[in-house]
Every structure is written in structure tokens, then in C-alpha cells.
């Protein structure tokens, strides 16, 4: 083929991400982790609330005038922000995550994971830069738009960017593959929160709390990792399968289809909305607990955490500081269970099946939530903590298992886009869960119920949500035959993919011919290359790049968690 007659496809096109025959599929999970570990810092943003609440006063907050209007507060530079105002960034994160994933999930399927990952990097890191400018100029609306809106869009695109790709690379281990990547989102805060603390301590001065500098530093670090992850994405050629793997017979499991449902059809089916309810109810129960884990442990057990028979309200400031440190260990331990559950439960679902795994989540979760009040009144800290550790493992497991569940029900062709639509359930749960836990607690305390008993009714209500989730999961059935994509649609898509594969093959020949000459390229094209022959050191290095930061975050978290059992 003549060098002068071939125009290579654009660098960001999907054709350029089609893997060569020698590509090792185990390079894709670390690429996904590189992105998820960065955007997962959204869970740890509360580490900035207290420093930002005294960004003007530095040592203590400067209160705004009581008669200052809301609009004036958005532009005020002479007084500090309230934590409730800053908390809107957290809300915007997950609302925009769900909505952006739903809006651009279909685009992802055609654009490919590389382009989506790069857009995610620019949005998430660019949002941090805008937020840094907002802190420097003391304009809270810039934080809302920067990290909340633009960063939230980056969260959505980054979250779903590897899902479809991983499922196609690991048809034999769908749950495990998505669990590995989505585990990173849960682990992002374990790395990001202590890193942010270290950076703020380094940048703090008598006139600055060090937050805007920390935002810029983290934006630079995250950008390197996210761009590296996006460029590491590859998609398999049409018809690729792992060596030695044979697809199971269609009749082996009625809940796993070998057909495909189009996005425009899938989201209108009962199965989609049942799975939407399954995810929403599982997440609503868990996310409410995550947000109140620290105060819950302190208020329920009070002085018992430090060997005193006193309620929380009877403790002095020094004693409250002691139990706050113990509660921080509790929060860290829950983070570890959240992360471990994402990988363990998703991998377990490959053996047990997705529907049965969710049934375990709901049945076991119901029993645990309903038992929490009794465990609290017994004064058993160990059993109380153990129950919540299992609950949070299933919360994380629900996130990691749902993409594989969708692939089982709707096929793999458009699973990334369908997953994006389904994540609106997460956005909804992000409102339902915290509202239930926070407002019910305040209502019961206002009604005269002691603080240590203020969560009892909440736990029973959350267990009721899980019963509804169990019913929705039991109602999930295979999609009706007439809803699957027709043969002509599949042939059209296969033709398009084959054309992309051919273009990529031409591009490989073009590169080799330009480098070694036409005879060498011709010889290589006639010599088959074994699948997955990428050098082992390259694979190991890729895993070390993401594994070492994750190990560091786990070590820091374990050090905090040990305090809980002293």
C-alpha cells in the first residue's frame, strides 16, 4: 500500500483505540482506575469545608451581616462562607454525575472511551482550577460552577467511560472487571483526602488557609493521571474473545442474554425502571448512613467509646474530641468496606448471578438495618461497627454489580449508554438518603427523643426501603423477544465496526511501512500475532502506577481505623 494514499484517522477517533492483536486486556483496568481514583475525590471534598469556612478570617470565621441577601452573599469578599453553602458542591457533584452520564452516554458509545476520558480530565481538573480562582477571589459561585457543575460533568463522563469497554474485554468476568474500575471511585477519597490535608498544611500561611493552592496542585496531579488513563484505553476488535473461552449456551441462564437492546428501546422497558429502582433504593439506604456515620457513632454510644458511662450531651469538650477521633476511624473503616465490597461482591456475582446477588443485598441488608437499634441499645460497639461494615460493602457492591446486570439483561452493544441513563437513580438517591437520615434525626430530637435513640426509626425506615428494592429485583425478567435489535440493525453496526477495524489495520500497516518499508510490513501482516502478548513488565508497571497510591491510601485509613478498637 502506498504511503501517500492513506490518511490516518484522527487521534481521538474510536478507530485509533482499537487494540492490536498483541494487546493485553489486563492493561485496561489500570487505565480505568487511573481515572476513577482521581474523580473519586468527590467523596472526600468535605476535607475542604472547615478551611474554606474561614478563608477570610484564616484563624476563625468572619460572619456575614445578618441582613445580607442571598445574591449579595454570592459576591461578598469580606466575610466567610457557611459550610451549608459549601455543601452544595457535594450535591451538585452527584446530580451532575447522573444527568451528564444520562445525556452523553450515547455519545460515548460512538466516540469511544479515549475521547470521553480526555473530556472528563479537562472538566474535572478544569473545574478545580476554576474553583481555585474562586477561592482566591472569594467568589462562591465560581466553586459551584467550577467543581460542582463542570467538575460534575467530568465525574459523569469519567465514571461511565470504562464500563462498556471493560465488559467487552472481560465477557468471562463481567462483574470482576467493572468491580475493579468502580472500586477506584470508592477509593479516590482515601488517597485524595490525606493528600489534600498534606498539601493544605504545606501551603498554609498567616494570610491563607492554603486551599486555592491545593486545588491547583491536585488539578495538575489528577490531569497527568487522567490523561494517562484515557490514552491507555483500548477497545477489542469485533468478534474478539479471550483465549480458550467459549460463550455459554443461550439456555444456560435465562437472565443472561446473547442479544442486544438499543438504548432508545431499553430505557422504556419495565426492566430498566425496575433496575433503576433497585439501584436507587440500595444507594438511598447506604448513602444516608455514609453522610452521618461519624455523628451517629458519637451520639449513639457517647462516653462508652472511651470507657465512660455518659451520654454524648454529658461529655466535655476534651472528651468529645477523643470520641471524634474514634469516629473518624469508623468513617475510614467504612470507606475500606465500601471499596472492598465493590470488587468482592461484583466478582462474587459472576458465580452467583446478578439477580441473586442483589437479593442477598436486600435480604441481608434488611436484617442488618433492622438489628441496628437493638445492637445500639445493647451497647455493643463491635457488633454495631460490624453490621455497618457489611452494609457499606453491599452499598459499594451495588454500584459495581449494576453494569454487569445491565449487560446481562440488555446485551453489551450499548451498555455504557444504558448505564449512563440508569445513573440518574444515583442522583435521586443522593437526595433521598441524606434527607431521610438528617431530617428524621432532627425531627426526633426536637420531639424530645434522646440523641442515642434518634436513629432507631430511621433504621427501620431504611430497612423498609430495602424490602421495596427486593420486590423490584424479584420482578426483573428477561426482555421480550420483539425488543431486541433486529438482524439488519446488527449487520449495519457490524459493518460499521468492521470498517473501523479495517481502517485501524490500514493505519497499523501505514505506520510499519513508513518505519521499516513495504516488504517488512507485508511480512508482518501475514504472520499471526498471539493475543495478549504485551510484555509482562509493562502490565506490572501499569498496575504499580495505580496500585501504589491506592495502597498508601489504604495504609493511612487503616491507621485511623485502629483507633476504633483501642
Alpha-carbon dihedral angle through residues 39, 40, 44, 48, given to the nearest 10 degrees: 0
Distance between CA atoms of residues 509 and 3, nearest Å: 9
Distance between CA atoms of residues 41 and 158, nearest Å: 12
Distance between CA atoms of residues 338 and 345, nearest Å: 10
Please state the pTM of the whole predicted model.
0.82
Please list, residue by residue across 132-146, b when 16 or more beta carbons sit within 10 angstroms of its beta carbon and e when fewer do. bbbbbebbbebbbbb
The answer to whether 332 and 294 have CB atoms below 8 angstroms apart is no
Q: How far is CA 435 from CA 60, 220, 425, 491, in A?
A: 29, 35, 15, 48
Please check whether the two domains, 9-242+486-566 and 254-485, share a CATH topology: yes
Give me the residue label for grid cell 466567610.
80
Task: Give SS3 for 205.
Answer: strand
The CATH-assigned architecture of domain 9-242+486-566 is: Up-down Bundle (1.20)
Give me the residue label for grid cell 498508601.
552
CA proximity to 426, closest of 529, 555, 310, 277? 277
Query: In the beta sheet, which residues pair with residue 235?
Result: 18
Distance between CA atoms of residues 67 and 195, nearest Å: 38
Q: For every one of its 566 residues, what pLDDT tens digit does the chain have, with 9 covering 90 and above? A: 444 454 556 777 778 888 888 889 999 999 999 999 999 998 888 788 888 988 998 888 888 888 888 888 888 888 988 877 888 888 888 889 888 998 998 888 888 899 999 999 999 999 999 999 999 999 999 999 999 999 999 999 999 988 888 988 998 888 888 888 788 888 888 898 889 989 998 999 999 999 999 999 999 999 999 999 999 999 998 888 888 887 776 555 677 888 889 989 999 999 999 999 999 999 988 887 776 777 788 888 888 888 888 888 888 888 888 887 788 778 878 888 988 999 999 999 999 999 999 999 999 999 999 999 999 888 888 899 999 999 999 999 999 999 999 999 998 888 888 999 999 998 888 778 877 777 777 777 788 887 777 788 888 988 999 999 999 999 999 999 888 888 666 666 555 555 555 555 444 444 444 444 433 333 333 333 344 556 788 899 999 999 999 999 999 888 877 777 66
pLDDT in tens, 359-400: 999 999 999 999 999 998 888 888 999 999 999 999 999 999
- Phi, psi angles (nearest 5°) of residue 235: -110, 145
Look up residue 9 and give its three cell numbers. Answer: 484517522
Look up residue 271 and give its three cell numbers. Answer: 426492566
pLDDT in tens, 489-532: 666 655 555 555 555 544 444 444 444 443 333 333 333 334 45
CA angle 479, 484, 488 (to 5 degrees): 175
Domain range list for the chain: 9-242+486-566, 254-485
The yes/no answer on whether domain 254-485 falls in CATH 1.20.1260.10 is no
Look up residue 1 and give its three cell numbers. Answer: 500500500
Question: Reduced to 3 DSSP states, what percent helix, strand and coil does the chain have, rounded to the nearest 5?
Answer: 75, 0, 25
* Percent of the chain surpassing pLDDT 90: 38
pLDDT in tens, 237-262: 888 888 888 777 655 567 788 888 99
DSSP state of 341: H
Give me the residue label for grid cell 455459554.
248
Distance between CA atoms of residues 413 and 411, nearest Å: 6
Distance between CA atoms of residues 410 and 273, nearest Å: 13
Amino acid at each position: 500500500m502506498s504511503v501517500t494514499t492513506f490518511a490516518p484517522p484522527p487521534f481521538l477517533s474510536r478507530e485509533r483505540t482499537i487494540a492490536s492483536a498483541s494487546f493485553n486486556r489486563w492493561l485496561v483496568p489500570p487505565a480505568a482506575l487511573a481515572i476513577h481514583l482521581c474523580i473519586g475525590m468527590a467523596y472526600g471534598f468535605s476535607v475542604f469545608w472547615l478551611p474554606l469556612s474561614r478563608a477570610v478570617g484564616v484563624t476563625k470565621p468572619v460572619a456575614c451581616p445578618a441582613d445580607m441577601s442571598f445574591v449579595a452573599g454570592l459576591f461578598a469578599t469580606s466575610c466567610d462562607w457557611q459550610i451549608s453553602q459549601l455543601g452544595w458542591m457535594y450535591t451538585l457533584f452527584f446530580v451532575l454525575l447522573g444527568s451528564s452520564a444520562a445525556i452523553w452516554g450515547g455519545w460515548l458509545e460512538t466516540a469511544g472511551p479515549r475521547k470521553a476520558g480526555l473530556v472528563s480530565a479537562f472538566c474535572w481538573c478544569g473545574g478545580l482550577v476554576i474553583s481555585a480562582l474562586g477561592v482566591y477571589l472569594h467568589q462562591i459561585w465560581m466553586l459551584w460552577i467550577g467543581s460542582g457543575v463542570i467538575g460534575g460533568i467530568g465525574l459523569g463522563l469519567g465514571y461511565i467511560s470504562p464500563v462498556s469497554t471493560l465488559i467487552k474485554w472481560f465477557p468471562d468476568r463481567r462483574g470482576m472487571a467493572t468491580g475493579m474500575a468502580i472500586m477506584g471511585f470508592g477509593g479516590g477519597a482515601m488517597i485524595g483526602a490525606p493528600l489534600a490535608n498534606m498539601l493544605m498544611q504545606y501551603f498554609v500561611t498567616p494570610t491563607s488557609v492554603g486551599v486555592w493552592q491545593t486545588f491547583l496542585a491536585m488539578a495538575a496531579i489528577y490531569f497527568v493521571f487522567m490523561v494517562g488513563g484515557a490514552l491507555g484505553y483500548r477497545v477489542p476488535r469485533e468478534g474478539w474473545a479471550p483465549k480458550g473461552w467459549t460463550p455459554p449456551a443461550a439456555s444456560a441462564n435465562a437472565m443472561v442474554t446473547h442479544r442486544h437492546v438499543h438504548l432508545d428501546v431499553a430505557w422504556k422497558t419495565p426492566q430498566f425502571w425496575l433496575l433503576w429502582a433497585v439501584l436507587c433504593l440500595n444507594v438511598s439506604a447506604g448513602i444516608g448512613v455514609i453522610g452521618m456515620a461519624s455523628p451517629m457513632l458519637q451520639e449513639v454510644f457517647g462516653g462508652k467509646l472511651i470507657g465512660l458511662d455518659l451520654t454524648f450531651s454529658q461529655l466535655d469538650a476534651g472528651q468529645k474530641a477523643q470520641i471524634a477521633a474514634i469516629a473518624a476511624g469508623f468513617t475510614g473503616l467504612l470507606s475500606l468496606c465500601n471499596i472492598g465490597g465493590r470488587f468482592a461482591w461484583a466478582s462474587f456475582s459472576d458465580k452467583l448471578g446478578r439477580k441473586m446477588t442483589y437479593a442477598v443485598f436486600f435480604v441481608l441488608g434488611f436484617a442488618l438495618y433492622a438489628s441496628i437499634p437493638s445492637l445500639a441499645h445493647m451497647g455493643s460497639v463491635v457488633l454495631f461497627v460490624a453490621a455497618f461494615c457489611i452494609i457499606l460493602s453491599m452499598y459499594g457492591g451495588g454500584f459495581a454489580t449494576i453494569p454487569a446486570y445491565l449487560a446481562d439483561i440488555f446485551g453489551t452493544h450499548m451498555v455504557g449508554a444504558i448505564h449512563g441513563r440508569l445513573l440518574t437513580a444515583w442522583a435521586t438517591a443522593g437526595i433521598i438518603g441524606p434527607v431521610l437520615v438528617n431530617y428524621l434525626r432532627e425531627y426526633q430530637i426536637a420531639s424530645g427523643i434522646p440523641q442515642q435513640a434518634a436513629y432507631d426509626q430511621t433504621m427501620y425506615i431504611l430497612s423498609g426501603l430495602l424490602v421495596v428494592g427486593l420486590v423490584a429485583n424479584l420482578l426483573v425478567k428477561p426482555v421480550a423477544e420483539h425488543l431486541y435489535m433486529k438482524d439488519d440493525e446488527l449487520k449495519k453496526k457490524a459493518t460499521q465496526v468492521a470498517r473501523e477495524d479495517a481502517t485501524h489495520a490500514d493505519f497499523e500497516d501505514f505506520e510499519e511501512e513508513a518505519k521499516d518499508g513495504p516488504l517488512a510490513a507485508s511480512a508482518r501482516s501475514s504472520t499471526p500475532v498471539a493475543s495478549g502478548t504485551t510484555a509482562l513488565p509493562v502490565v506490572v508497571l501499569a498496575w504499580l502506577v495505580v496500585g501504589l497510591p491506592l495502597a498508601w491510601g489504604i495504609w493511612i485509613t487503616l491507621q485511623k481505623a485502629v483507633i476504633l478498637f483501642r
